[in-house]
Amino acid sequence: MPTFCTKCGTTIPDGIAVCPQCSTPVSVPQQAAQPQAVQPQAQAPQAQPQAAVPPMQQPMYQAPAGQPYPNQPYPQQGYPQAPYPQQGYPQQPYPNQPYPQQGYPQQGYPQQPYPGYAYPAPYPKAPSPNAPDTNFGKFFSDFFSSPTDAINDRVTPNFWLLGLLSMAALMILDFIIALINYDSAMSYLNDKYSGGKVALCTLLVDAASLAALIVLVMLFSAAFKLKSLNFLSSLSLSGMALLITFPCNLIGFLNDKFVRAIDEKGEFISISPAITILGIVFAGIVLYAYAQKHNDPQAKKSKPMWFTFCTIASYYTANLFFSWMFQKMFFT
């Protein structure tokens, strides 16, 4: 209830013991006991906003452990804003999180392509122009159909291995034949030369003669203005031209052995020379077909024949020369 001053009648608010107008003490009347009013609790002082820490000094946002990244809450305002992952972009991990096993490859992490991304196929390596062609089955299939065409179509640097193998087989066969023939013929004689020495001489003669044939084919092809041949192409042509010489020499050797075994009186005539000539004729046919294929249509028709004759004649002349030379070296 309001209280009035007894002297000046001024209304005195509750809780004031002196009249604010005349300074007269005010006596407060006794009242019945009233329930004590609940005093409001003092409010906690409001926290003062702190000054923002520079972004570089604030800790990075750490995602809750065990929660996948797409379902994590977005960083709160005031924290460094890491780029939110979007489909098709690299997924950068937060600190203290394991790096995902996919995404943009970085040093020290698994190098895996983006899901669904197909890297372009590497450019195929260009084959070497001198790489040997080892499809021998196709060659022999064509050879039995048309020998000259099969050979002339392969006078290239890619078939040097076939020519080399043909020459090597011929050299090894002649070495074995010379070794067997000499031992059988001289077994009853006290000769100072061994069969191995004779066979080695034969092997060296063949090697020198075949090397001369390769060079002669190159020289005469240029001299008669045919197709220009390098060393590997000439090796291919020379070796394949001697393919029949190997079986001819083998058949001639077996024929000689058979005739000597059954003909004690010398009544049979050996066909070995004829078989040897057959190998020479085949080589001449191959060289002639090559020259005719690459001859100028306006040139003389006799040029392929002269090319074949000069090549074969020069080859056997070189063979005789090397035979004489190595015999002088080994047996004098």
pLDDT tens per residue across span 113-129: 556 656 666 666 666 66
| C-alpha distances in Å from residue 23, one per residue of 14, 19, 173, 263 | 15, 5, 150, 173
Tell me the per-residue pLDDT of 290-315, one tens digit each, with 9 for 90 and over.
999 988 877 778 899 999 999 999 99
**For residue 88, is it within any domain?**
no
Per-residue DSSP letter, 17: -
214: its two tokens: 């390769």
Helix, strand or coil, per DSSP, at residue 12 = strand
Helix, strand or coil, per DSSP, at residue 68 = coil
Tell me the per-residue pLDDT of 223-273, one tens digit each, with 9 for 90 and over.
998 888 899 999 999 999 999 999 999 999 998 888 888 876 666 777 888
Tell me the per-residue pLDDT of 82-101, one tens digit each, with 9 for 90 and over.
555 555 555 555 556 555 55
Asked if 91 and 69 touch (Cβ cutoff 8 Å), the reply is yes
* Sole residue written with tokens 């020495």: 197
**For residue 321, is it within any domain?**
yes
**For residue 25, is it within any domain?**
no
Tell me the per-residue pLDDT of 283-296, one tens digit each, with 9 for 90 and over.
999 999 999 998 88
**For residue 206, is it within any domain?**
yes
Domain containing 140 equals: 136-331
Q: Residue 255 and residue 155: Cα distance in Å, rounded?
A: 33
**For residue 273, is it within any domain?**
yes
User: Taking Cα atoms as reference points, which of 162, 155, 114 lies closest to residue 289?
Assistant: 155
**For residue 209, is it within any domain?**
yes
- Torsion angle defined by CA atoms of residues 50, 52, 54 and 60, in that order, rounded to the nearest 10 degrees: 90
**For residue 286, is it within any domain?**
yes
| pLDDT score for 15 | 73
**For residue 312, is it within any domain?**
yes
Domain total for the chain?
1
Question: How sure is the predictor about 169, in pLDDT bands with cuts at 50, 70 and 90?
Answer: very high
What whole-number percentage of the chain has pLDDT above 90?
36
Average pLDDT over residues 204-212: 95
Mean pLDDT of the chain: 77
Per-residue DSSP letter, 102: S
